[in-house]
Structure 1
Amino acid sequence: MPVDAALYSAALGQYAAGVCLLTVRDGIDDVGTTVSSVMSVSAAPPLVAVGLTADGYPAEVLEEVGSCALTVLAAAHGIVASRFASAGRPSARHLLESVAWTRAAGSGGIVLTEGLVALDCRLERLVPAGDHVLALLAIEDVPVLNEAAAPLLRLRGRYVDESARPLGRP
């Protein structure tokens, strides 16, 4: 018997996950999305996997362009995570007006300079996985590494700090 979707969602919501911003620079604009399904796959060669909605625009653009940037967000980026998780969002640059960012050298994707870490990535392949795809990303560079920054986490459907306290408005 299949597992109830609401029960499945509630069960996985108990797992605290880091929150990332994936950005793709195409010839027209910058596309970005919040992701929390990210995992390390391999150290040699350095690979990560990112879960994206299969029929979503970010997956489509990533497949076309073939490269992206991935920033692991800091606790101070709760508003940024919410903005990029919303449907019908404008250009990534417009959502980052008050946030320090630069471009990754290889992909040209936006990276937040105050994130925990940023990865400049090349798409190895997309792997179908139900209603999502797993983007297998080869790491080409690490343009940001802030080892003292506090992480942004997602737990039980909310953004929280490393002590599991819900984030308030700044």
Structure 2
Amino acid sequence: MPVDAADFAAALGQYAAGVCLLTVRDGIDDVGTTVSSVMSVSAAPPLVAVGLSAQGYPAEVLEEVGTCGLTVLAAQHAIVASRFASAGRPSARHLLESVPWSRAPGSDAIVLDDGLAALDCRLERLVEAGDHVVALLAVEAVPVLDADARPLLRLRGRYVDESGSPRPRA
């Protein structure tokens, strides 16, 4: 018997996850998307895996360019996360007009200066996984690291603080 899609989504919504911003700089523009399906894969060599919609433009651009930036978002980035989760969004630079950012040294992708951490990554490979792809990323640098920043978390379809209480809407 197949698993009900709504039950599956509700079950996974019970798992609190950090929220990240994946950005890619191609020859024309900057593309970005909010992701919460991120996991550490290996420390030696440093690898992370990121789940992306298989039909989405960010996965297509990442495959073409082969490098990206991945910022672990801080609590104050809830609006940024919402902006990059919306369909039909404009250039990443336009969505970050009031947010301090810089370029990662290897990928030249946008990373947020006030995130918890930022990873400068090279695509090892894309693996098909249902309606998504898993991007296996080799971490080549850590241009941002702030151990004191408060994380942005997603739980039950909403952004929450460390206690699990909903974040106020800004």
Do both proteins adopt the same fold according to a TM-score greater than 0.5, normalized to the shorter chain? yes
CA distance in 2 between counterparts of 1:83 and 1:104 reads 21
State how 1:21-100 maps to structure 2 within 5 Å: 21-100=21-100
CA distance in 2 between counterparts of 1:91 and 1:166 reads 29
1:20-60 deviations in whole A, cap 9, x for unaligned?
00000000000000000000000010000000000100000
Corresponding residue SS for 1:147: coil
**Residue number in structure 2 paired with 1:119:** 119
Scaled by the length of structure 2, the TM-score of the pair is 0.99
Task: Report the Cα offset of residue 168 of structure 1.
Answer: 1.3
Identity of aligned residues (%): 82
Task: Report the Cα offset of residue 169 of structure 1.
Answer: 2.9
CA distance in 2 between counterparts of 1:78 and 1:166 reads 11
CA distance in 2 between counterparts of 1:111 and 1:165 reads 27
CA distance in 2 between counterparts of 1:164 and 1:9 reads 18
Gapped regions of structure 1 (runs ≥ 5): none
Q: How many equivalent pairs are there?
A: 170
**Residue number in structure 2 paired with 1:6:** 6
1:53-79 deviations in whole A, cap 9, x for unaligned?
001000000000000000000000000
CA-based RMSD: 0.5
- For 1:15, give the aligned amino acid: Y
1:90-115 deviations in whole A, cap 9, x for unaligned?
00000000101000010011000100
Moved over 6 A (4+): none
Scaled by the length of structure 1, the TM-score of the pair is 0.99
